[in-house]
Amino acid sequence: MNKAKNQVGLIFFPAFDWAITPDHPERQERLLYTRDQIQEEGLFDHPSIVEYRPIVATDEQISRTHICVPNLDRHVTESHRIAAGGTILAADLVVDGKVDRAFALLRPPGHHANRVIHGSRGFCTVNNEAIMVDHLRHRLGPDLKVAIVDTDAHHGDGTQDIFYNDPGVLHISLHQDGRTLYPGTGFISERGGPAAFGQTVNIPLPPETGDEGMLMVMERVVLPILQEWQPDFVVNAAGQDNHYSDPLTNMNFSAQGYAQLTEMLAPDIVVLEGGYSIESALPYINVGLLLALAGLDYSKVREPNWRPDTVRQSSALTAEVARICDLVLAQWKTRQEEDLERVFGQGDFFERRRDIYYDTDNIYENQQEYIRLCRDCPGWRVIYTASSHFRDPVAAISVPWKVCPKCLEEARTHYAAEEENTNFAQAIWQQPISRS
């Protein structure tokens, strides 16, 4: 048997008894063909790939990341708890040294779930990666640096929202240009909040970008940024809907491309996101991805219907991708030279007003967020939120990891005031605390 470089922990949880609706793309059969392919290729039998049973995430673990309106139980079902728990387990396996790398190959996905939850967006309810990152900081301390590289075809807007002002997280998202695909965000100009400016990196790619373009972005942008930022952990939010056969997107990546990307990125933890080509793409992408993670030869993994000429990108498209790479990299390099007062204003607070649509549940949310501009910490924040489902506004006060004493005091005073304020249905307090 060929020996692998890395021991890989696989948390495979297809949730064969859960679907949004029976004919929805996010349905029971989504990982059925993938399981068969992995099994038939003998990967479950390979000594370097060990399967683990997911755990169930607790209220405490979910609440460290999310603010649920009106409460957690209203939105979070057992399937979400198991997907989040499986992702947490993936991180724990790596931290505990039981495996070198871990792959949470599970559903339902999470990267469209924002900090505030009024319902499901983009098939996501809770953000598996974000809950995992906050779990890691809870375990290992708030100084941990985690990079999330989101390779789903859709912009990882939920993850971006959660870590927008978080200096401990670098969020890089490669995706099909938001002007052509849900959720319609993820432009180069979205660069992070005042305490983490530049650490939100968006790389919108033109429709029909293929392996060549994706690997160019990895080589020219993603790897140099990671090299410079030096994260303690690299997480890959591994959406598989950039595939040429995906029914929901217009990209042209292949299983080989995904495997090469995985080898280049060398992530510690991989978490499945989207990917709805359940017979033509997922089985092959996941076999390639697992082989690449283990450090085994993946060069023979090919989709049966792959034809190089139908998915090859044009030279004009290659030039456009190269131009985007240059832009993003130039922005990254000058991130510390920007005048933040010019970007975020001079007041005591940075204000964001947003209308957020929950497509899966058809809910409209209106949100105002005020982040305290503070020299000593990322600043506490207050979020006022109401939605078409819960019209009475809610005030949520959230303090960051490594909050300074002054901000903590201000936040407490504000929370006490909002608790008394009858304009709000409730006041919610969120404060992540590290165990170490």
Partner 1 sequence: MQKQLGVTIGEILVLKADGGTMTLADSQDRPIETILSGPAASIMGVRALAECQEENFVIVDIGGTTTDLAVVVEGQVLFERSGATILGYKTLVPALLTRSIGLGGDSALHFCTEEQKVIIGPQRAGLPVCRGGARLTPTDAAVALGLATIGDKTRALAQWQRWAKELGLAWQELAKLVLEAFTRQLTEAVENLYGELENVPLYTISEVLNPPQIRPQAVVGLGAPAGVFVPRLAENLHLPYEIVPFSAGANAIGAGAAQPTIGVTLHADTELGTVTIPEMGYQGTLERPLFFTQEKARDLATTKTQEHAQAQGYDATAQVYVVEEEHFNMVRGFRTVGQTFTVRTQLRPQVRKIGGGQSNEQG
Q: Which residues contribute to the site for partner 1 (CB under 8 A)? A: 1, 12-18, 23, 25, 28-29, 32-33, 35-36, 45, 47, 51-54, 56, 78-79, 82, 247, 276, 278-279
Nearer to partner 1, 173 or 242 (CB): 242
Q: Is the dihedral of CA 324, 326, 329, 334 positive or negative?
A: negative
Note if 414 is an active site residue.
no
Nearer to partner 1, 14 or 142 (CB): 14
Nearer to partner 1, 37 or 367 (CB): 37
Nearer to partner 1, 45 or 60 (CB): 45
> Could you tell me the two tokens for 105?
């190959």
Strands 67-68 and 116-117: parallel
Q: CB of 53: closest distance to partner 1 in angstroms?
A: 5
Q: CB of 81: closest distance to partner 1 in angstroms?
A: 9
For residue 136, which of 79, 82, 100, 93 has the smallest C-alpha distance? Answer: 93
The phi, psi pair for 49, rounded to 5°, reads -115, 115
* Burial class of residue 71, CB neighbours in 10 A (0-12, 13-18, 19+): exposed
| Interatomic CA distance for residues 358 and 423, integer angstroms | 24
Q: CB of 77: closest distance to partner 1 in angstroms?
A: 8
Q: CB of 51: closest distance to partner 1 in angstroms?
A: 5
Q: What angle do CA 5, 52, 276 make, to 5 degrees?
A: 90
For residue 381, what are the β-bridge partners?
371, 398
| Interatomic CA distance for residues 167 and 96, integer angstroms | 25
Q: What value does the CA radius of gyration of the chain take, rounded to a whole number of Å?
A: 21
Nearer to partner 1, 8 or 15 (CB): 15
Nearer to partner 1, 245 or 387 (CB): 245
Q: CB of 279: closest distance to partner 1 in angstroms?
A: 6
Please list the alpha-helical segments (H only) found in 120-174. 128-140, 157-163
Amino acid at position 250, single letter: N
Buried-state track 178-195, b at ≥16 Cβ within 10 A, e below 16 = beebbbebbeeebbbbbb
Helix axes 282-294, 255-265, angle to 10 degrees: 30
Q: CB of 260: closest distance to partner 1 in angstroms?
A: 27
Nearer to partner 1, 204 or 283 (CB): 283
- The four Cα atoms 427, 123, 191, 293 give a dihedral, to 10 degrees, of 120
Q: CB of 414: closest distance to partner 1 in angstroms?
A: 39
Q: Which of 75, 112, 138, 154 is flagged as catalytic?
A: 112
Point out the residues that are catalytic: 112
